[in-house]
Amino acid sequence: MTEVVGVSGGDVSEGAGGVVTSATDTATWVLGLGFLLMALIHLTQFRRRFFRLLRSTVRLLKVGLIEYPLRIARLPLMQAIWRHRAVVRFRRVVVVPGAVAWLLFRAIPGLLLEAPPGWLWFLFGFSLCSLALNSRPGRDAQELTSEWLANAWHKLQARIFVALLDLLLEFFRMVLNLIERFLYAVDEWLRFHSEESWLSIVVKAVLGVVWSFVSFLIRIYVNLLIEPTFHPVKHFPVVTVAHKMILPGLVLLQGSMVTLLQPYLGRVLAESVTWFNIFFIPGIFGFAVWELKENWRLYASNRRPRLMPVAVGSHGETVARLLRPGFYSGTLPKIFRRRRRLELQQPSFRRFSMRRSVQSQLDHVQEAIRNFVKRDLIRVLQLCPVWAGTGIRCARVSSASNSFLVDIECPLLGEEPIRLLFQEQSGWVVAGVDRPGCLRFASADQLRSLQHALEGFYRKCGIDMVREQLESAFVHDHPYDINGESLVVWPGGDFRREIVALLVQKRQLRPLPAAEAQQAGLLPTDRQLVIFNESGTVWSDWIRRWETGAQGLPQACLQAPG
């Protein structure tokens, strides 16, 4: 028997109106969110202002709801009020029992039951909690509970999370080691051993060719594709982002891949191999990022904190070892000494061959210096926006027995080259700008960037003194000479008078006689301001100079806008 229920027209219209209102609200939210996402994706200025407003809002909420209340709570007056006996008693007797009673008799029952218990139950629970929590066992229970919660949270942060992460990394490391052990065991079995029959050797030779290809595929797929895809640490977020970026393109190429493999593998196997590759190919990016990150961390941890001299010559010589005479150094002095000895010999075929050999050695050293200049000076300037497009290049390197010149051309500024002079003088390696050339037409930003590029380049050369630094900080416009243990200055160009500053003095260079030195404007100066290698350039500061944006324009060079 069918029961018929009558519904009034008002109820039907109200129900339909509710459905229409709900659908309208949903459509409004969907359209609004869609337009917002479209604007964020396609409008750069809107995206910048939106995220700037979002960051400002979050910062304002953080300041208003967290930082300022914490500052107010940390004030001495608030601390004194918080620790006052009456406030402490009020917290223990009223606030804490009230919070516990409200949680037990109002909040939790309100979630589980249709109608929570009345206020009489709340007052009963409040009284019971106040008596229980303020008794001696209740206070002991509170202290033990708070201590246990603090220790549990500390162990959860310091031990469990780290232990789970270590366990995860160790598991995947163990799986890779097992696969490597298996591959090594098969390789070991396929090796030829003594006292084997000719049939065994033939079988191993054939299987070895096949196994070499199979083991190569196993290593490639496991290490580059499968393991980074399943490894959570490597997977998130690199492999996830790679999936989103390249998966649509790989799906479009699926037909071409199947067509390529189908003649060799068949339709079913070709489809399986294709979809297997499509799913696991993004794992390559996880492998690459993980390896590059770890290699960079290893490099950064082993890198010295300061810029240090680097090898220039093919035999590991630094610039100082190229110039400074010694048993294991002095490449240029030794080459020119051999040239002088050959010039004193009678003409002969042997002399001709030896001269060609010595000239080849000299050309080899000059080419090494040229490559060093290109790599560590010219390339740094080319990457700086104020020098980009100027055509700066290393034009020529010429050498002598204890020095070499580097000519740097910049056609956009002028035809005259910038000439750098590197000398060995009484055991000191001295460098400086011998001729400014086209630098007279350079902008202030270009000069600043060149100054910092030369600072790093001189550090890598192992320069002891820089003439511009020496002249600006100590010598000024007076003629001078660098001896083994002292710096000799002739004030005003009068070579009958000498002012001597001992370079072996610690902390300060003091010119003597003091009275004549003071008249000539030569004052005691800190060694680090005069001798270049007494100071140092920190790697982090050096990198920061070249990475600062255009808004700061701090030290190295003006960055391109945007």
Q: Is the pLDDT of residue 323 over 90?
A: yes
Q: What is the 3-state secondary structure (H, E, C) of 325-367?
A: CCCCCCHHHHHHHHHHHHHCCCCCHHHHHHHHHHHHHHHHHHH
Specify whether the CB–CB gap between 516 and 497 falls below 8 A: yes
Q: Is the pLDDT of residue 517 over 60?
A: yes
Q: Where exactly are the structural domains of the chain?
A: 192-302, 310-464+547-561, 465-530
pLDDT at 406: 96
pLDDT at 558: 36
> Helix and strand tally (H, E) in the chain?
26, 11
pLDDT at 11: 52
Which of 196-210, 253-267, 401-415, 513-527 has the highest average model confidence (pLDDT)?
Answer: 401-415
Q: Among all chains, which residue has been given the structure tokens 């005259």?
A: 416
Among 136-145, 200-209, 222-231, 342-351, the range scoring the smallest mean pLDDT is 136-145
Please give the structure tokens belonging to residue 4. Answer: 């018929």
- CA 422/CA 402 separation, integer angstroms: 9
pLDDT tens, position by position, 325-375: 888 788 999 999 999 999 999 889 999 999 999 999 999 999 999 999 999
Q: Among all chains, which residue has been given the structure tokens 């740094």?
A: 380
Question: What amino acid is encoded at 226 in this protein?
Answer: I
Q: Is the dihedral of CA 38, 40, 42, 43 positive or negative?
A: positive
What is the mean pLDDT of the segment spanning 248-263? 85
Which of 114-123, 124-133, 333-342, 537-546 has the highest average model confidence (pLDDT)?
Answer: 333-342
3 state DSSP class of 176:
helix
Which residue would you say has higher pLDDT here, 418 or 44?
Answer: 418
Q: Is the pLDDT of residue 22 over 70?
A: no
CA-based diameter of the chain, in Å? 135
Among 108-117, 230-239, 388-397, 538-547, the range scoring the smallest mean pLDDT is 108-117
pLDDT at 240: 82
- CA 228/CA 239 separation, integer angstroms: 8
Which residue would you say has higher pLDDT here, 127 or 334?
Answer: 334
Which residue would you say has higher pLDDT here, 355 or 98?
Answer: 355
pLDDT at 1: 45
Q: Which burial class, exposed, middle or buried, applies to 355 when counting CB atoms under 10 A from its CB (0-12, 13-18, 19+)?
A: middle
3 state DSSP class of 254:
helix
pLDDT at 13: 52
pLDDT at 125: 80
- CA 81/CA 96 separation, integer angstroms: 17
Q: What are phi and psi of 395, to 5 degrees?
A: -85, -45
- CA 258/CA 248 separation, integer angstroms: 16
Please give the structure tokens belonging to residue 255. Answer: 């037909």
Q: Is the pLDDT of residue 137 over 70?
A: yes
pLDDT at 559: 36
Question: 511-512 and 508-509: which strand pairing?
Answer: unpaired
Query: How would residue 550 be classed by pLDDT, with cut points 50, 70 and 90?
Result: very low
Residue 310 CA, distance from chain mean position: 22
Length of the chain measured in residues? 562
pLDDT at 327: 81
Question: 465-466 and 508-509: which strand pairing?
Answer: unpaired
Query: How would residue 214 be classed by pLDDT, with cut points 50, 70 and 90?
Result: very high
Q: Is the pLDDT of residue 14 over 60?
A: no
Give me the half-sphere count of Cα atoms (radius 13 Å) on the Cβ side of residue 378: 22
Which residue would you say has higher pLDDT here, 205 or 1?
Answer: 205
Please enumerate in sequence order all residues whose Cβ is within 8 A of that of 528, keeping only pairs 6 or more positions apart, or say none: 534, 535
pLDDT at 416: 93
pLDDT at 560: 33
Q: Is the pLDDT of residue 551 over 80?
A: no
pTM of the full structure? 0.60
pLDDT tens, position by position, 416-463: 999 999 999 988 999 999 999 999 999 998 999 999 999 999 999 999
- CA 101/CA 109 separation, integer angstroms: 11
Which of 97-111, 402-416, 535-549 has the highest average model confidence (pLDDT)?
Answer: 402-416
CA distances from 543 to 447, 448, 458 (A): 18, 15, 16
pLDDT at 44: 84
Specify whether the CB–CB gap between 550 and 559 falls below 8 A: yes
Specify whether the CB–CB gap between 235 and 279 falls below 8 A: no
Query: How would residue 23 be classed by pLDDT, with cut points 50, 70 and 90?
Result: low
CA distances from 248 to 165, 244, 282 (A): 32, 7, 12
